[in-house]
Amino acid sequence: MMETMKLSNGIGLSAIQVGKPICILVFDTGKDFGILINPKITGVNGQARIKEGCLSLPGKKIEVDRYSEIRVRYYNLEGRLVEKDFFDLEAIVVQHEYAHFFGILIIDENPNGW
């Protein structure tokens, strides 16, 4: 998944986007990277509005409201349960990819921005 994400010039990817109906997301913002298995957002704070793109919608950018801070509980590659706080761009990317688990795209987040 990391290779597919990088080949597509993305900074995040959800397994569902590559035809795998499992709850795994990957991201690499250049500052931080991660592989989150069965993530669950357990806390949110702050606000951010950002123009987002999506590998599922090439060439489209839409303004989306997100939280600027989130707490996520997930399993890492070693199978350990982790709880971690994400901030700013990392928080936004995780929320974006997490939404794919529920069939939500950026056009669903802001239908008027399409």
Determine the pLDDT at residue 45: 98
Catalytic-labelled residue, pool 3, 63, 83, 97: 97
> Do 97 and 23 form a contact (C-beta atoms < 8 A)?
no
Q: According to the model, what pLDDT value does residue 7 have? A: 86
* 97 is a catalytic site residue: yes
- 34 neighbors 83 (Cβ within 8 angstroms): no
Domains of the chain: 2-113 (3.90.45.10)
CB 46 within 8 A of CB 69: yes
For residues 11 and 22, what is the distance between their CA atoms, to the nearest angstrom? Answer: 19
Q: Tens digit of pLDDT per residue, the chain (114 long)?
A: 988 889 888 999 999 999 999 999 999 999 989 999 999 999 999 999 999 999 999 988 999 999 999 999 999 999 999 999 999 999 999 999 999 999 999 999 887 776
User: What confidence score (pLDDT) does residue 114 get?
Assistant: 65
**Residue 112: its pLDDT value, please?**
76
